[in-house]
Amino acid sequence: MDHDDVTTQAGQEPTATASRWEDYIDVYFSPFELFRRRAHDKVAPPLLTLLALGILFYLIMIPANRIVVRGSIPPEQQAQMPEGMVSMMTYFGVIGVPIMYLLMTAAAAALLWLGGRIADIRTDFSRTMLIATYASFVLLLSQILASVLVIVAGEAGFDMIRSMSFGPLRFIGSPDMDKTLVAILQRLDIFAIWQAALWAIGLSVIYKVSMARAAVIAAVVWIIFAVPGIIMGVLGFGPPST
């Protein structure tokens, strides 16, 4: 498929029948319509919105983020760390939010681009970045829901592995679990699977390929995302034991 197939022809403008804010609703409920509508759109508007909302909800959920930050500190260090230091680390974390979203989105876009090329789909990075950006709104929803549940459970009920998961780790995770296994099971999180489904839908709609073909590419990228966590697990890095 030529690159011209995913760009507008001369003298034609893509039609958009919905506002920008409807896009951020359709990404959850009508992704096929969303990608058809925004197939030729610029990536900057949704990307900047994603980063801004990530920062906004991080600040709104500061109480939950303070619990998460404290939970990420090894137990032997928590008693020696003053509350002011924990608060400073929590607010400093707002800098990492847009960086995290940007890096994860760009990594997904690069892998989708590469996977498309290997599968003989003439993908271009601007389109795969658009697909990855809209799919990252699923991670934003995960961030919000996890923060709400952390606040409800409180610091006493917080577990670094269980509390941040929406997959099997929420039920079977434990601080003593092998960190490599944790990294693998994290990919079975419903939001990680949902994100991969949106990658497949975006590829299928924008590049007009079969859903099966797009799903294979998305599934491979979904698996590759487990590799950094597996490597860190093998090296012994991961959530602290309690």
Give every CB contact of residue 239 below 8 A, 6+ residues apart in sequence.
71, 72, 160, 161, 175, 179, 182
Q: How much is the pTM?
A: 0.86
* 129-177 confidence digits (pLDDT tens): 999 999 999 999 999 999 999 999 888 888 888 888 999 999 998 878 8
Task: Residue 142: count other Cβ atoms within 10 Å of its Cβ.
Answer: 19
Give every CB contact of residue 102 below 8 A, 6+ residues apart in sequence.
47, 51
The pLDDT, as a whole number, for residue 85 is 82
Kindly compute the dihedral angle of the four CA atoms of residues 50, 183, 61, 146, in this order, to the nearest 10 degrees. Answer: 100
CB 111 within 8 A of CB 91: no
CB 185 within 8 A of CB 167: yes
Q: Name the token pair of 125.
A: 């990075």
* 16-28 confidence digits (pLDDT tens): 567 888 999 999 9
Residues in the chain: 242
Task: Residue 79: count other Cβ atoms within 10 Å of its Cβ.
Answer: 7
How big is the CA angle at 167 (ends 74 and 148), to the nearest 5 degrees?
Answer: 65
* 83-140 confidence digits (pLDDT tens): 778 888 888 889 999 999 999 999 999 999 999 999 999 999 999 999 999 999 999 9
- On the question of pLDDT at 64 being above 60, the answer is yes
Is residue 232 packed enough to be buried (19+ CB in 10 Å), middle (13-18) or exposed (0-12)? middle
Please state the separation of Cα 154 from the chain's center in Å: 24
Give the residue extent of every domain in the chain: 19-234
